[in-house]
Amino acid sequence: MLTEIIDDNFVQQFYKGGAKNDELRNRLINQDNVKVFFSDLLSTTKLLCEEFEKIITLIITEELIFKKLKMFNEVDYDME
């Protein structure tokens, strides 16, 4: 029996972080019958890549963010 469908609407509802994370975790924890559907994989992939570019730029340009993230990384990166 299918217990959850993850589609564009689901992502828009829960991909907000914060308080929604707990609700999302509770809906998906230990669920074997979850299916993921995206109507336009190419469009979704392009948008995801654009967001990754923004995140990478933010990490590189904001020294405080870089230093905080570096604490969780075992590989030593020189971003200069």
Q: State the average pLDDT over residues 58-75.
A: 84
Residues 29 and 58 in one domain: no
Residues 20 and 49 in one domain: no
Give every CB contact of residue 20 below 8 A, 6+ residues apart in sequence.
13, 14
Residues 51 and 78 in one domain: yes
Total number of domains constituting the chain? 2
pTM above the 0.85 mark?
Answer: no
Residues 53 and 33 in one domain: no
Residues 56 and 78 in one domain: yes
What is the DSSP code string of 47-77?
HHHHHHHHHHHHHHH-HHHHHHHHTT-SS--
Give pLDDT tens digits for 12-65: 777 766 677 777 778 778 878 877 776 777 888 899 999 999 999 998 899 898
Residues 48 and 78 in one domain: yes
pLDDT beyond 70 at 78: no
Residues 54 and 71 in one domain: yes
pLDDT beyond 80 at 4: no
How does residue 79 score in pLDDT terms, banded at 50, 70 and 90? low
Boundaries of domain holding 73: 40-80
